[in-house]
């Protein structure tokens, strides 16, 4: 049963074996997927990228209402997001953005325009863990971060001093009555030590271990090709990024990792200081893009803790209500700017020219979805007549995939 109207993108039977697409995904490394996607995006070939990313991300939303009922509507917005994307997004996907932003004048100029537009236009941003030269930690250093997270989470007395140093590394400081010896940890505490925070950090550690296991020991001293990342949506990215810097309503996994990097630099284990550097990578121009773009770009950047690629654990697409508070006139202005100042029209034409080749070999339903998504029908994605269910070929089974509760 795979109709999106019932929010069933697959089956959640716990006894079901992994589908072929799941098995293939498990055999791929993070680097091989990103490399393939970057190559396709450089060639302006969006269909296989969108299909691959959605096959990983959509099953997480089987019981959610954050996405449109029509798969064609989701695909259409993904196409528009890529067609209108600045080269900053492509550089982020291929792992070169932080280094190029230091030296590439052309990219710097384009990014200045993106930053200016983000003052008034909703957008998607990413944080990437790199040093001042845009270089990511090495595999060995990422392992040291994981080890330190485990020590921080542990309740053993031998790590009290380490935990206290980390907790005092950035504002706000721990409460005056808190002590590490009593088990207090700033990033584990809500009203008490949070089992959910502990579980999330252990998932992060398991993801890092999984990623590092696929890196040859001889490559341990090389910088990670794809920096650990975090992704989010904001109606005003400049304000939101300022909140992250001030650790206000921020991502505690990201904040802890950054504070651990500062601690390891301070004690001399890391020569470089690694910080979460922010970049605005996509400008949105339709309200329905907010949830879809955050979900799609989070998958594209592989920012989830479970795979070792990033620091996101909270489900994407759930905190985008501000997009619907922007009035229609303002959205129309944003859309007009995008059509006048980006390659969206040219890129859409390329995708339509590729369509016949792209749908060869797809099952009838999947072909129908892509034809509707790239067709000239309802541009708002509200046509419920066609493409309103997800083909099993596009989406794997739901075994082990549940939408997380808020953490």
* DSSP category for residue 178: -
- The contacts of residue 378 (CB under 8 Å, 6+ apart) are none
In a domain, residue 399? The reply is: yes
- Are residues 78 and 145 part of one domain? no
- Are residues 113 and 14 part of one domain? no
Secondary structure (DSSP) of 105-156: HHHHHHHHHHHHHTTTS-EEEEEEEE-TTSPPPBHHHHHHHHHHHHHHH---
In a domain, residue 335? The reply is: no
In this prediction, residues 27-54 reach a mean pLDDT of 94
Share of the chain above pLDDT 90, in %: 76
Q: What is the pLDDT of residue 392?
A: 33
- Are residues 259 and 283 part of one domain? yes
- Are residues 222 and 104 part of one domain? yes
- Are residues 364 and 285 part of one domain? no
- Out of 29-38, 120-129, 354-363, pick the least confident: 354-363
Q: What is the pLDDT of residue 265?
A: 98
Quote the tokens at residue 394. Answer: 């596009």
Q: What is the pLDDT of residue 326?
A: 97
Quote the tokens at residue 367. Answer: 């072909």
- Are residues 142 and 6 part of one domain? no
- Are residues 43 and 103 part of one domain? no
Give kind and range of the element (H or E) at residue 282.
strand 275-283
In a domain, residue 336? The reply is: no
pLDDT band with cut points at 50, 70 and 90 for residue 180: confident
Asked if the model's pLDDT at residue 150 lies above 50, the reply is yes
Asked if the model's pLDDT at residue 181 lies above 60, the reply is yes
**What is the residue-averaged pLDDT of the chain?**
87
Q: pLDDT for 64-83, tens place per residue?
A: 889 998 999 999 999 999 99
SS3 249: coil
In this prediction, residues 205-224 reach a mean pLDDT of 96
Measured torsion, CA atoms of residues 171, 208, 142, 259, in degrees rounded to the nearest 10:
0
- The contacts of residue 324 (CB under 8 Å, 6+ apart) are 287
- Are residues 249 and 300 part of one domain? yes
Last residue of a domain, one of 294, 328, 362: 328
Last residue of a domain, one of 298, 328, 358: 328
Asked if the model's pLDDT at residue 261 lies above 70, the reply is yes
Last residue of a domain, one of 278, 293, 328: 328
Share of the chain above pLDDT 70, in %: 85
- The contacts of residue 22 (CB under 8 Å, 6+ apart) are 396, 397, 399
Q: What is the pLDDT of residue 63?
A: 83
Q: Are 256 and 188 in contact (CB under 8 A)?
A: no
pTM of the model: 0.87
Q: pLDDT for 300-338, tens place per residue?
A: 999 999 989 999 999 999 999 999 999 999 999 999 999
- Are residues 102 and 53 part of one domain? no
Asked if the model's pLDDT at residue 9 lies above 90, the reply is no
The domain containing residue 285 runs over which residues?
95-328
């Amino acid at each position: 049963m795979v109709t999106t109207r019932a929010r069933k993108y697959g089956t959640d039977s716990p006894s079901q074996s992994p589908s072929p697409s799941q098995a293939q995904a498990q055999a791929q490394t993070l680097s091989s997927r990103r490399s393939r996607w970057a190559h396709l995006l450089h060639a302006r070939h969006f269909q296989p990228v969108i299909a691959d990313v959605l096959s990983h991300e959509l099953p997480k939303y089987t019981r959610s209402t954050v996405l449109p009922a029509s798969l064609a509507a989701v695909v259409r917005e993904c196409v528009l997001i890529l067609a209108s994307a600045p080269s900053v997004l492509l550089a982020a996907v291929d792992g070169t953005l932080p280094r190029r932003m230091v030296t590439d004048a052309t990219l710097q100029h384009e990014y200045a325009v993106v930053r200016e537009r983000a003052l008034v236009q909703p957008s998607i941003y990413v944080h990437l863990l790199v040093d001042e030269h845009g270089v990511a930690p090495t595999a060995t250093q990422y392992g040291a971060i994981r080890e330190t997270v485990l020590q921080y989470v542990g309740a053993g007395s031998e790590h009290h001093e380490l935990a206290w140093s980390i907790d005092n590394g950035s504002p706000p400081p721990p409460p005056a009555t808190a002590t590490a010896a009593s088990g207090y940890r700033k990033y584990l505490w809500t009203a008490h030590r949070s089992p959910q925070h502990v579980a999330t950090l252990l998932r992060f550690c398991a993801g890092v271990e999984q990623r590092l296991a696929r890196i040859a020991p001889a490559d341990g001293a090389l910088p990670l090709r794809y920096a650990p990342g975090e992704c989010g949506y904001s109606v005003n990215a400049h304000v939101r990024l300022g909140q992250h810097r001030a650790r206000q309503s921020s991502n505690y996994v990201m904040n802890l990792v950054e504070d651990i990097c500062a601690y390891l630099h301070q004690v001399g284990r890391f020569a470089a200081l690694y910080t979460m550097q922010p970049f605005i990578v996509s400008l949105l121009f339709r309200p329905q893009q907010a949830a879809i773009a955050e979900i799609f770009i989070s998958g594209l950047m592989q920012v989830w803790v479970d795979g070792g690629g990033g620091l996101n654990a909270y489900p994407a697409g759930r905190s985008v209500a501000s997009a619907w508070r922007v009035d229609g006139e303002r959205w129309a202005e944003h859309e007009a700017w995008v059509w006048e100042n980006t390659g969206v029209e040219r890129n859409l034409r390329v995708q339509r020219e590729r369509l016949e080749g792209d749908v060869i070999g797809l099952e009838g339903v999947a072909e129908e979805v892509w034809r509707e998504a790239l067709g000239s029908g309802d541009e708002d994605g509200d046509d419920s007549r066609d493409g309103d269910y997800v083909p099993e070929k596009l989406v794997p089974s739901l075994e082990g995939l549940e939408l997380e509760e808020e953490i």
